Structure 1
Amino acid sequence: MKSSIIRRVAAAVAFIAAIVAPLAGCSAAAGADGTKPVVSKVSDIKRASSHDPTIAKDGDTYYIYGSHRAWYKSTDLVNWEPFTDNLSTDFKDILGGIWKEWPQQPSNSDLTGNMWAPEVVYNKTMKKWCMYMSVNGTNYKSVIVLLTADHLGGDWTYVGPVVYSGFRTETMDKTDVGKVLGTNEVPTRYLSPGDTEINAIDPSVETDDNGDMWMTFGSWFGGLWMFKLDQKTGLRDYATTYKTVPDKSDQYYGVKLAGGYGNSGEGSYLLHTNGYWYLFASYGALQQTGGYQIRMFRSKDITGPYVDENGNPAVYTKSVANNWTSDIGVRLMASVKWSGNDNTNIEVAQGGNSAFVDDDGTAYVIYHTRFSNRGEEHEVRVRELLPTSDGWIVAAPYEYVGVKAAAKGYDKSKLAGDYELVTHAQNTFFQGKKNIADKDSTDYIGVNEPVNITLKSDGTVTGDQTGTWSVKDGSDRMSITLGGTTYEGDFAQLPRDKDLKQVMTFSAIGGNVCIWGSKQ
């Protein structure tokens, strides 16, 4: 009798386990290449709160350096832990000299909140890690300086200034401007933010195919610029000179990459992948309801010219009202209200990004984002960047949690099915709740909501939008035509944000607009 009861209990337990096991494991199921998320729940992720995060890798560890000395490190690009170095604690001693000499003013007397958007790269010639840091002042009186370290996570040594802004004739002797221009009088173009007066912040440093190092910088107003660095010193290459040509180049600031005429645009960042140089810039104002967003352009040459998918140049030739709602530049991502998600916590005002290609060739974009219900609080997010067949890149629909798109693609039979489709409208941005009095409402202004489509096995698309789709067998490269627009993109089986269940997704770009799909 006892053994019979035991057998019945064991059988019941086995039956329940058979039902529960696949349900319990759905969030940790392996992807197409056998990988699993590095966490069991999204809420388990150890987050980083770092504004304007740049990312660098030393050995097997990734390092984030952000504005206001917000440093983090990780071994998996998912979980981050803060760390400190001498720049965290002794910054007033390390940068005190240049701070007092240039940016410090009665209205801007504390260095603490004025160390912005550093860039960290390895200089093979110097055999040093180089940090390019914006030391910010009022009225655009800023300077980008260089510091070096032997290894990431270690201490930094101040080297010197790289480029200035906000100079006037009476202050030129404190800068290298006179040395470059060959005059002691400031030309009038540097006195107008609608012309060539910029804020020297937000550096990005890349090395081209010839081994030359270039630094991009600038912000709003007078546009985004770049000049060559001396690999031996990490500072400006004074042997390379530039002519002053309106909307193309400037004797002091070098080559004009984007913006100008008072239009928004900051945080320039360059990435070389998929056969092109990609220029990222953050449009709009960085606040939660300021319309902050990442726009993208590309060029075959590091110095440009950079254009979007429709051929629009990144350089403006006139003022455009609220250019963050214009159709110039590919908007990489927007706010999305996926069904079933925790839609009280939607990403908004994404920007201040960096990007990099890892050792295995996988490209990522790293950015800070605010949220629909958390005011100005911000966190770092990482997404994989996927290459399209026509030489563009698109961001994955879900954040990276340890599972990458399969390198060999997917069987076509797994791609057909019902999807939610989101279009990243260029003319919208998060503006808050429609009903402010309803604290539990998730009905927002400026958040993109999905529609339903079906990718049928015969290559047609039905549902809220109709058209056709195709993919090469054994490949992740896809093409989809909706409403007369053809989008080129990629399929990727990824863990979705709400529960980490792995679903088929696609990201694509067409007519200067990005779209995301997520299988239901």
Structure 2
Amino acid sequence: MKTKTKGILLVVLAVLIIIPAVILGMKHFQPKENDFTGIKLPSSPAKTPVKNVNTDVLYDEKKWTTNFTHDGAIIKADGWYYVFSTDYMVGAPPTPGIQIRKSKDLIHWKFAGRVFDQVSQEAWDWTHGTTFWAPSVIRMNDQYYLYYSVSEVGKRNSYIGLATSHKIEGPWKDEGPVFKSKEGDGNTVNAIDPDITIDKNGQPWMVYGSYFGGIFITKIDKNTGKLVNPNDQGTLLAQRKDMSAGIEGPEIIYNKKTGYYYLTVSYDWLEDTYNVRVARSKNITGPFLDYNHKDMIDPSDDSFNTGNKIVAPYAFGKDPGWLGTGHNGLLQDGENYYLIHNARAGEDKYWSHLHVRKMVWTDDGWPVVSPERYAGEKEQKVIESNLIGNWQQIVLNRFEDSMQISTNLQLLPNGKIKDEKGKSRWKLSGQNTLELSIYDPGSAPKDYWKFTVKVLPGWDWENWKGTLVFTGMNQEGTVIWGKKIINK
């Protein structure tokens, strides 16, 4: 064989070897859209997808699980998590008595009975209410204090009562009224929706109120569990324009690391537009200011723009989604924080469920929550290849309280976000902190929305699989949620 021919054959052979090797190498090193390297995703919370509307459980309380939970208050006791909630069900009048549910893991819940059999004679005489609303429970003085509401619908004829027990599941002793309100009593507060919180000095307080005059806070006598000043409605913390602008369901929690008290309230109507807002203060009596330094006492026409909206009606993809996402409860469990709330199925807005969400904290000390219900996930370190791929995003617009539908977001391997102009960018700037720069000329400050979000594992309840989610805020305090879509 001639030397020239040998050379040609060697070149061809080299090409045949090198090109496939290069292709394979490129394929090997090319980022995968479904790359969860180093991430522990949560396990399935049930054997099969959970039905949002399930008429089979209507009259079988043992199967209620999260069904028919409304206005829940959460506490951890004796190794269990307990939620006490409003008397509520679908299809028939609810049995009065304050519903109790319990769970070992915040995921699997079972119905555990009721606190009472009926409303007390005193509460009935004051309000003519037949059911209990919006309880709150706390442990003080080596026993449990349960605060409850009874009210006449649409009026200030309302009653907050107290019950005590040495055991979390009872029996409970009714201790009578804590505070009552009535038309013409000289006050403006509506005596429902109590929440008891203990300040950093050990002093208990009751924050309460719904619609009408707004949200108030007053001192609790730590020995009796009742008000220090029985006839004083307390200090105003939050208020909206009038009865057309709903505000209720207050809770306060203290974060020792940030040094702030955080006030959460629910805005608007409980059947559909219900949404959770948050503000903070160095003092438990306020003033409570939101991200934009707006005071939660805002009786103006612009009160819809007050408070960081952290939970709101939403739908991912083609899922029917959730309405009435409000009246939250707050729990600190060691280093972990959780937010619970009721949510009404998009298929039937009267079908209410308990939602539990993991709460995380932004770098500047604001609480935000996971866009997906809790399934045991923990914050973890993520790498860039984990993030590349298709996401669904939901912006919780403070100006619009109807159900927000997700839109698509594609994170490309080169740090770009797919858009028409090619000017949007993303960057992993911390262990699980992601920065999104969304190009929106003419609308965004300096043409870019700057979102800083926390990435964490989550359970995709809509598609029934583990994935990654994110939650955070932009430079105006608007919250964004995101969920990574796994390609088949």
TM-score normalised according to structure 1 size: 0.74
Residues of 2 paired with 1:213 and 1:42: CA distance? Answer: 41
Q: What residue number does 1:375 align with?
A: 349
Quickly say closer, same or farther: Cα 1:386–1:270, change in 2 above 3 A: same
Deviations 1:262-309 (A, max 9, x none): 242000111223523221111111123xx2111121222222211111
Q: Could you tell me which residue of structure 1 aligns to residue 178 of structure 2?
A: 162
Using the TM superposition, give the Cα deviation of residue 260 of structure 1 relative to its aligned residue in structure 2, in angstroms: 4.3
Residue equivalent to 2:274: 292
| Deviation, structure 1 residue 238 | 3.2
Q: Of residues 404, 414, 417 in structure 2, which corresponds to 1:447? A: 404
Alignment pair present for 1:461 and 2:417: yes
Residue 269 of structure 1 aligns to a residue whose secondary structure is: strand
Amino acid at match of 1:358: D
Q: Say if 2:41 and 2:467, in contact at 8 Å, map to a contact too.
A: no
Aligned to 1:118: 135
Maintained 8 Å contact 2:42/2:459:
no
- 1:247-286 correspondence to structure 2 within 5 Å: 252-262=232-242, 263-273=245-255, 275=258, 276-286=260-270
Against the structure 1 CA distance between its residues 140 and 76, is the aligned structure 2 distance closer, same or farther, given a 3 Å change threshold?
Answer: same
Deviation digits for residues 303-331 of structure 1 (CA, Å, limit 9, x no counterpart): 2211111111110143x28x5xx322221
The 5-angstrom pairing of residues 289-438 of structure 1 reads 291-318=273-300, 320=301, 323=303, 326-339=304-317, 343-344=319-320, 346-359=321-334, 361-406=335-380, 409-430=381-402
Compare CA radii of gyration and give the structure with the larger one: 2
What are the ranges of 5 or more consecutive residues in structure 2 without an aligned counterpart? 1-35, 53-64, 88-97, 441-447
Q: How far apart are residue 486 of structure 1 and its match?
A: 2.0
Distance change >3 Å, CA 415–CA 447, structure 1 → 2? closer
In structure 2, how many angstroms separate the alpha carbons of the residues matched to 1:403 and 1:350?
21
Alpha carbons of 1:163 and 1:31: their partners in 2 closer, same or farther (altered >3 Å)? farther
2-structure distance, mates of 1:30, 1:282 = 39
Whether the 8 Å contact between 1:386 and 1:393 is mirrored in structure 2 is yes
Shift of 1:394: 1.1
Identity among equivalent positions (%) equals 25
Residue 202 of structure 1, CA deviation: 0.3
The amino acid across from 1:492 in the alignment is: L
Deviations 1:200-251 (A, max 9, x none): 1001111111111111001112110001111111111239xxxxxxxxxxx8
Say whether 1:80 aligns with 2:44: no
Counterpart of 1:112, as a letter, is T
Per-residue displacement from partner, 1:427-486 (whole Å, max 9, x unpaired)?
3344xxxxxxxxxxxxxxx432312231x454443336853333345x113332324232
Say if 1:57 and 1:31 are closer, same or farther in 2 by CA, change over 3 A.
farther
1:32 aligned residue (39, 46, 49): 39
Letter in 2 for 1:149: S
Please say if 1:476 is aligned against 2:432: yes
Partner residue, 1:508: 472
Correspondence for 1:49 = 68
Secondary structure of residue in 2 paired with 1:405: coil
The yes-or-no answer on 1:205 pairing with 2:169 is: no
- Give the distance between the partners of 1:369 and 1:35, measured in 2 at CA: 22
Distance in 2 (CA, whole Å) between partners of 1:355 and 1:461 is: 35
Q: Cα 1:152–1:472, aligned 2, differ >3 Å: closer, same or farther?
A: same
d(CA) in 1 for partners of 2:67, 2:333: 20
How far is the alpha carbon of 1:34 from its aligned partner?
Answer: 6.7
Q: What is the CA–CA distance in structure 2 between the aligned matches of 1:265 and 1:457, rounded to whole Å?
A: 44
Q: Any conservation in 1 of the 2:329–2:341 contact (CA below 8 Å)?
A: yes
1:400 counterpart SS class = coil
Once the two structures are TM-superposed, the CA of residue 347 in structure 1 deviates from its matched residue by 0.6
Structure 1: which 5+ runs fail to align? Answer: 1-28, 105-110, 169-185, 191-196, 240-250, 431-445
One-letter amino acid of the structure 1 residue matched with residue 135 of structure 2: P
**SS of residue paired to 1:391:** coil
Structure 1 partner of 2:26: none
Number of residue pairs aligned between Structure 1 and Structure 2: 413
Query: Aligned partners of 2:172, 2:330: CA distance in 1, in Å?
Result: 23
Alignment of 1:56-205 (within 5 A): 56-68=75-87, 69-85=98-114, 87-89=115-117, 91-92=118-119, 95-100=120-125, 102-104=126-128, 111-113=129-131, 115-123=132-140, 126-137=141-152, 139-166=155-182, 168=184, 187=186, 190=187, 197-205=188-196
Residues 58 and 472 (structure 1), Cα distance of their counterparts in 2 relative to 1, 3 Å cut: same
SS in 1 for 2:160: strand
State the alpha-carbon separation in 2 of the partners of residues 88 and 512 from structure 1.
42
Deviation at 1:261, TM superposition (A): 4.0
Secondary structure of the residue aligned to 1:413 is helix
Give the SS at the match of 2:235.
strand
The answer to whether the 8 A contact 1:297-1:330 is kept is yes
Instruction: Give the Å deviation of 1:31.
Output: 8.3
1: distance between equivalents of 2:333 and 2:289?
25
Q: Which moved more, 1:205-214 or 1:395-404?
A: 395-404
Moved segments of 4+, more than 6 Å: none
SS in 2 for 1:233: coil
AA at the equivalent of 2:229? Y
Answer yes or no: is the 8 Å Cα contact 2:298–2:306 preserved in 1: no
| Counterparts of 1:487 and 1:160, CA distance in 2 | 49
Does structure 1 conserve the Cα–Cα contact (< 8 Å) formed by 2:342 and 2:355?
Answer: yes
2:315 touches 2:322 (CA, 8 Å); kept in 1? Answer: no
Q: Answer yes or no: is the 8 Å Cα contact 1:277–1:298 preserved in 2.
A: yes
The residue that corresponds to 1:442 in the other structure is none
SS at match of 2:130: helix
Residue 108 (structure 1) aligns with: none
